[in-house]
Amino acid sequence: MRKFMLTVMAVAVLGLTGWGLWPRSASEAAERDGYLVLALSWTPSWCASEGDSRGAARCAPGAGAGWLVHGLWPQHDSGGWPEFCPTDHPAPSSASLRAMEDIMGAAGLAAHQWRKHGSCANMAPAQYFDQTRRAFGALNFPPSLRADRTALRARPADLLAEFRAANPAFGPDMAVLTCRAGQAQELRLCLRHDLTPRPCDEALLARACRAGQVELPALR
């Protein structure tokens, strides 16, 4: 009887582990905890690479859109990210999506970001968008990162240094600047779930712009 009971207990433990109810290792538990990446696009760069061909309203002359939220992305500590997760939360309302246009540029982008990333954030749409807004609202953007009237040219490291000077909580390994076709594209900021800065994983840091200089196109 004792041998039978031990066998039953062993099977139960293995079953719970296999079904994902228990972490199989410390590394798996850490990966589940993960962190968040706040991705910010410099709109004139996005317009040049994608937005103009789509006829996006935020690319029109006089729109004046600068740094906007691309998304808030759950991220694994070891690199990579989940996406398009099954969720019991209902889809965000049209009103809540339109309410994000001021910091995301388009309700359609907000809807896509919820489906792809917000569904993996273990929170309702209202909480996810509130967290996105709070993370963005806590940032400062100095004039040197706004290119109000004329395009700016600088080394990626200098642009990041300007950002960190205005947001000193971000250390050198907590923010990444990406680029494409000689233009600065995105700031990707690594955050704990309480929205305080934390180090990025190595895979994300490897995406940093390697160009000698990049352009920050002027606002439209």
Question: pLDDT tens-digit profile of 113-139?
Answer: 999 999 999 999 999 999 999 999 999
CA 70 to chain centre: 7
Q: What does the pLDDT read at residue 33?
A: 65
Of 25-39, 49-63, 86-100, minimum mean pLDDT range: 25-39
- This prediction has a pTM of 0.85
E runs forming strands in 61-117:
67-75
Q: What is the mean pLDDT of the chain?
A: 88
Mutual orientation of helices 125-137 and 107-116 as an angle, nearest 10°? 110
CA distances from 137 to 38, 92, 133, 145 (A): 12, 21, 6, 16
Half-sphere exposure of 186 (CA within 13 A, CB side): 19
Would you state the structure tokens that stand for residue 172, as one six-digit string? Answer: 């050198």
Q: Which CATH class is domain 34-216?
A: alpha beta
pLDDT score of 7 more than 60: no
pLDDT in tens, 172-212: 899 999 999 999 999 999 999 999 999 999 999 999 999 99
Amino acid occupying residue 125: P
Q: Measured between alpha carbons, how far is 155 from 3 in angstroms, rounded to an integer?
A: 68
CA nearest 217: which of 25, 23, 46? 46
pLDDT score of 56 more than 50: yes
Domain positions in the chain = 1-30, 34-216
User: Can you tell me the mean pLDDT for 90-117?
Assistant: 98
